[in-house]
Amino acid sequence: MKLETRKEEIIKTATKLFKEKGYSAVTMRDIAKAMGIKAASLYNHINSKQHILRDIIISLAEEFTNGMQTVQLSEVSSIEKLRLIVALHVKITANSTYGMASLNNDWMHLEEQLDYYLELRDTYEENFRNILREGIKKNEIINSNLEIMLFSMLSTLRSLYLWIPKKEDLNTEELTQNLSHMLINGINK
């Protein structure tokens, strides 16, 4: 098992504090106090709170973008691609619930990386849209309002970070299967 570097420990601690208090309310002193060190010591490993936020959000956004690219290039049906997208969200969220809180709630605080993040997010959403369009065209998905389908699925997937921590006995495969069924098939009997 890989040992956590001091920088990774700082980012992990900050990520948890950002979720609990919100990015704006957390200071470098808060991070240092939570780690049991002096605030000045943090600067040996990181440049600023902004850099921590950037590392959290950009790494997750890139992970989603890379995952979406893999899904898009897969030679499977549109329905299966949607299942793969659900699995991608469950996996990333289960591995980084605190980071997902920052991704969803604190992205607007990115400074020099905001445009890059927005580009990643827009590309991800457009690729998702294209999978839905393809499914409609191939008659695999109902021909309904594309934006409502996208909004419904993404709203649920983006808010998993609120629900997953409340599940002590989380089985990601079972969650992926049940969530895929619900988001793709609905609640019709």
Please spell the DSSP secondary structure of 52-108, one letter per residue: HHHHHHHHHHHHHHHHHHHHHHSSS-HHHHHHHHHHHHHHHHHH-HHHHHHHHHTGG
pLDDT in tens, 6-25: 889 999 999 999 999 999 99
Fold of 49-185: Tetracycline Repressor; domain 2 (1.10.357)
Q: What's the pTM? A: 0.90
Q: Quick one: which of 9, 11, 7 has its CA closest to 99?
A: 11
Locate the domains of the chain by residue range. Answer: 49-185
DSSP-derived secondary structure letter, 26: -
pLDDT in tens, 136-157: 999 999 999 999 999 999 999 9
Residue by residue, pLDDT tens for the chain (189 residues) are 565 788 899 999 999 999 999 999 999 999 999 999 988 888 888 999 999 999 999 999 999 999 999 999 999 999 999 999 999 999 999 999 999 999 999 999 999 999 999 999 999 999 999 999 999 999 999 999 999 999 999 999 999 999 887 766 788 899 999 999 999 988 776
